[in-house]
Amino acid sequence: MNFEGAAPVVDETVKDLAAAYLWMWQALEVFDPDRDAWSEPTDFGNPRQRVARAEEGVKRVVERSRLTPPEWTEDVRKYREAAEALEAGAPFDEAMRRHSARLLTVGNDLAGKVVRWARPAASPGS
C-alpha cells in the first residue's frame, strides 16, 4: 500500500477494546505457573493491580462504546469468574489457560486494527 499523502487515524473504540482484552489477559496470565515471567520486559504489577487495571479497561469500554463484539459480554463474564477463582486460590487449569490465550489473541487482533491510514478528502474543484 502506498501511504504517501495518507494520515494515521486512530479508532478509539477499537483501542479501548484491545486494551481491555490485553489487560484481562495480563491479569489472568500472572497466575499461570507455566508463564515465562523472565521474558516480561516490564513489571505489570501484582495480581491485584492487574485485576484492577483490567476492570478499569472493561469499565471504560462499557462507558464509551456502544458497539462491542458479540462475544464481549461472555469473554468478560468468563474473565471475571476466572480472576475471582484464582484470587481465591484456585489452580490455573486448562480452561483458564484456553480463555487466557483467547483474550491475548483477540486483544492482539484488535490492536492491529487500531490505526488505519486514510487519505484526505479531495477538495471540491481540485
Is 122 among the domain residues?
no
Is 3 among the domain residues?
no
Number of domains present in the structure of the chain: 1
Is 23 among the domain residues?
yes
Name the average pLDDT for the chain.
86
> By residue range, what is the domain housing residue 76?
9-33+45-112
Is 123 among the domain residues?
no
How many secondary structure helices (H) and strands (E) does the chain include? 4, 2
Is 1 among the domain residues?
no
Is 15 among the domain residues?
yes
**pLDDT higher than 80, residue 43:** no
CA 87 to chain centre: 20
Q: pLDDT digit string (tens) for 14-39?
A: 999 999 999 999 999 989 888 876 66
Q: pLDDT digit string (tens) for 80-107?
A: 999 999 999 999 999 999 999 999 999 9
Is 125 among the domain residues?
no
